[in-house]
Chains A and B, each alone.
Chain A
């Protein structure tokens, strides 16, 4: 038995793993025992990677569509044939409509510098990541306050004295290192307050659980700020030194009393006052968690801003036990890894098709784009036609709200190409499907893992590919060669790619031998809280009054708009994750499917009684966009105004036999409505009707 140190990809966290290999087959996957934050542990998804490797339902050969879109009629092709086909079509589109008519979307990944280079070299501004659908508004909130994106920030759970989670369901959306830190912190006496319209596993571990009316988080935050300012519970020195616009906030929250918030949120005023006082007693080692997935409501950017502002009031930004800015190689005087995007690439004058970075959507991050705008852009051809779409390890059909509309839009494309490891819904509607080797069969670009102690990790192939598949970085390179932009991809092999990244850093591949990672720092680095925090806002401060927002005509503190309850027989549709599955990608994995074969509709006991719905009964759920069926989970553990389901079920691709037609699709029910300031879709905006059938 041989062990290979690598990086997991059963979800996007990228935990370091040790893969046990025997005779070119994977026997077991454990966490990398050399990593002190992991020590051999693994989550169920990581463990089940072994089943993915040998899954007969993976994509095995390049496919070219022969029947109508979505008919499942394909012919197998050689790589040369499939890539020639794609390149020819892309050239046709480029000649007829211009390079900007080609768009590209992926889930951000280790090879994103390759994807971005491909699009720049091709001459199109329309690179998208899935980020807006996950946390675009959080990104904008952080940039508006600190100048940094959310990906530059993390939380110091291990040293925190009080952690307040607004629906951040740490124990079910598992991330190994954070879960370990949080479990140990709780063991050592850290207080946990959990706020959610639903009882989750995280709620069962909390010292205090507060069931909040869905959609009213901003009201709670305003009231918390009211108490904190009114009772002078904030960190005065910190606020004076680092906050711009405190007086304006003080004026603004004056009317948002705990009694007012009780009516809005259903949380008793005395609990709000008590939480504000308890949090303050722990400051600055207190975390008001700003959230992860931040695509719930149309006021999302303000919900996230309020949470970050609460931390600023506590003085917890860049404090041990609070929120910190991730440090990278440069902060330790070292050269960062080279990226392909460091090259001299063509300038692109055409604006983005989604309007990100233009007057239409001035504040969302143009580096990621606002991908849920894509269906409307394709359908309306406004501002210009988008005729080609390349998709790499992303399933926009299921990630962008309103499934039927997405289908209509993709139907209109001249070319839809998907690079993936199994049939996504998007792959199923594609013209060409290019099968990628899975993470156990391939290496990828080296990971630069920023943090208090930055480090480099490496994904190495553990076994040879099972089928006629290739790594994505090779697929893109081969496509680039055919489009006469191959010279921007100066590598032939994986080792070439790694050596390109490492050039000038003083490190070689040998430095990764033995452990699979390289640590760039011995001690954690916090900036000096009195004088050294390097905020990147124009003022160099935390901008409560935000130049980013105000200069674009948006208020820094919007008045609260009361959330109206749904009509009789209707509910707000909440969505979330389960510990067994990653987004839309693992529902067909045999052992994960066994853990959770379908999603259920959580519905409050009293509401279910009124509607004559019994536990386990199949019900119909419908919205303005579509309808589906799902089994009811009748429970007291959810707010009566809401129903809940796990994302990613109700699949329509027959090739995935284990999850085909199991449970209901949230995407089918959601309306494609966005927080236009933050950039996220409001995935929980929709009201649904639930009926016994």
Chain B
């Protein structure tokens, strides 16, 4: 895994897909490729309430990525300092090997440029001290970005509150 991670707090997510659109704009992509995407599951009935899951899916920046060795041209690389996996667009020959190799469809096909494109956590932005474009864009702060060993406590706090308020009721 890379040293960083994007965490999604599903309970705050409203599936507006700003993350998806802003990523595409930031990478100069048109219709088609989606380096990140919200997948909607539901709504289903849960204890008499309609509940849906909106799952943010992007690149996992694997510790042992299958896409990197699959690339015949060393276009996909893992950055030494933080393990971020990125595509050097100048080296990409458009062979799609990375797309075939990845089990989660993280690399996407940019038909306009004839190259593969994927989430690189907006390297230029994070190197400039900004957050990835999708995280800044998120209207509800459902997405957070930071060092992977610094997992946000939001869910834990919420769970603790639920436990306590449950006890209050009894």
Interface residues of A (CB under 8 A from B): 27-31, 40-44, 46-48, 50-51, 171-172, 174, 176, 179-180, 183, 187, 189, 199, 201, 203-209, 579-580, 590-595, 637
Q: What's the minimum C-beta distance from B133 to chain A, rounded to whole angstroms? A: 7
CB-CB < 8 A to B79: which residues of A?
none
What is the 8 Å Cβ interface bit string for chain B, positions 1-37, against chain A (1 contact, 0 not)?
A: 0000000000110111110111011100011100000
- CB of A595 within 8 A of CB of B136, answer no
**Residues of chain B lying within 8 A (CB to CB) of residue A27:** 26
Q: By the criterion CB–CB under 8 Å, are B31 and A42 in contact?
A: no
A43 contacts B133, C-beta separation under 8 Å? no
Closest 5 CB pairs of A and B: A171-B14, A183-B140, A44-B21, A204-B52, A47-B22
A contact face: mostly helix, strand, loop, or mixed? mixed
Across the two chains, which residue of chain A brings its CB closest to B45? A636
The answer on a CB contact under 8 Å between B20 and A204 is no
- Contact between A199 and B43 (Cβ–Cβ < 8 Å)? yes
Give min CB distance, A378 to chain B, whole Å: 40
In the complex, B170 has a CB within 8 A of chain A: no
Known: A41-B136, A176-B139, A183-B12. A201 touches B52 (CB 8 A): yes
Give the dominant DSSP class at B's interface. Answer: mixed
Q: Is A28 within 8 A of B133, CB to CB?
A: yes
CB pair B25 A30 closer than 8 Å: no
A594 engages B12 (CB within 8 Å): no
Cα distance, A591 to B18, chains bound together (Å): 11
Chain B neighbourhood of A172, CB < 8 A: 14
Partner of B140, one of A29, A179, A208, A593: A179
* Chain B residue at minimum C-beta to C-beta distance from A201: B14
* Given A30-B136, A183-B141, A591-B31, A44 and B18 contact (CB-CB distance below 8 Å): yes
Closest B residue, CB atoms, query A171: B14
Q: CB of B123 within 8 A of chain A?
A: no
Bound form: Cα–Cα A203–B46 in Å: 12
A204 touching B51 in the complex, CB below 8 Å, given contacts A40-B137, A183-B140: yes
Q: Mark B125-154, 1 if CB is under 8 A from A, else 0.
A: 000000001001111110000000000000
Q: Which of A41, A50, A203, A209 contacts B139 (CB 8 A)?
A: A41
- Cβ–Cβ contact A179 & B49, under 8 A: no
Asked if B50 is at the interface (CB within 8 A of a chain A CB), the reply is yes
Q: Known: A47-B21, A47-B25, A201-B15. Is A179-B31 also a contact (CB below 8 A)? A: no
The smallest beta-carbon distance between B98 and chain A, in angstroms, is: 23
Chain A residues within 8 Å of B21, by CB = 44, 47-48, 591-592, 595
**Which residues of chain A are near B51, meaning CB under 8 Å?**
204
Contact B49 A174 (CB under 8 A): no
Q: Known contacts A44-B18, A209-B49; decide if A28 and B25 are in contact (CB<8 Å).
A: yes
Check B42 for interface membership: any CB of A closer than 8 A.
Answer: yes
Q: Are B43 and A590 in contact, with the CB atoms below 8 A?
A: no
Given A28-B26, A180-B140, A206-B49, decide whether A43 and B43 contact each other with a Cβ distance below 8 A: no
For A176, give the chain B residue with the smallest CB separation: B139
| B contact residues, total (Cβ < 8 Å) | 31
- Do B25 and A50 have beta carbons less than 8 Å apart? yes
Query: Is B18 a contact partner of A179 (Cβ separation < 8 A)?
Result: no
CA–CA, A205 to B141, complex, Å?
15
| Chain A residues positioned under 8 Å from B11 (CB to CB) | 187
Q: Choose one: B16, B25, B30; the contact of A43 (CB below 8 Å).
A: B16
Chain A proximity mask over B98-109: 1 for CB below 8 Å, otherwise 0: 000000000000
A and B contact pairs by CB, cutoff 8 A, 10 listed: A27-B26, A41-B18, A42-B18, A44-B22, A51-B25, A174-B14, A183-B141, A207-B49, A591-B30, A591-B31
Q: Name the CB-closest residue of A to B29.
A: A591
B139 near A43: Cβ-Cβ < 8 Å = yes
| Nearest opposing residue in chain A for B24, CB measure | A591
B46 — nearest CB in chain A belongs to which residue? A204
Nearest residue (CB) in A for B138 is: A41
Q: Could you say which residues of chain B place their CB within 8 Å of the CB of A209?
A: 49-50
Cross-interface CB contact of B14 among A40, A46, A179, cutoff 8 Å: A179
Looking at the complex, which one of A41, A46, A207, A637 makes contact with B43 (CB distance below 8 Å)? A637
Do A204 and B31 touch (CB < 8 A)?
no
Q: Which residues of B contact A203 (CB under 8 A)?
A: 43, 50
CB distance from B57 to the nearest CB of A (A): 16
Evaluate whether A174 and B43 lie within 8 angstroms (CB atoms) in the complex, with A42-B22, A590-B31 already known: no
Known A-B contacts A176-B139, A591-B25; A637 and B16 likewise in contact (beta carbons under 8 Å): no
When the two chains form their complex, are residues A579 and B15 in contact, meaning their CB atoms are under 8 A apart? yes
Complex: A179 Cα to B140 Cα, angstroms: 7
Give the residues in chain A near B139, CB-CB below 8 Å.
41-43, 174, 176, 179-180
Distance in Å from the Cβ of A209 to the closest Cβ of chain B? 6
Given contacts A28-B133, A187-B11, A204-B51, 18 further A-B contacts (CB under 8 A): A29-B25, A30-B136, A40-B136, A42-B18, A42-B137, A44-B20, A47-B21, A48-B25, A176-B139, A180-B140, A199-B50, A203-B43, A204-B42, A204-B50, A208-B49, A209-B50, A591-B21, A594-B31
**Contact A187/B52 with A40-B137, A176-B139, A180-B139 known, Cβ cut-off 8 Å:** no
> Is the pair B140, A43 in contact by a Cβ cutoff of 8 Å?
no
- The answer to whether B49 touches A580, judged by C-beta atoms less than 8 angstroms apart, is no
**Bound-state Cα–Cα, A206 to B11, Å:** 11
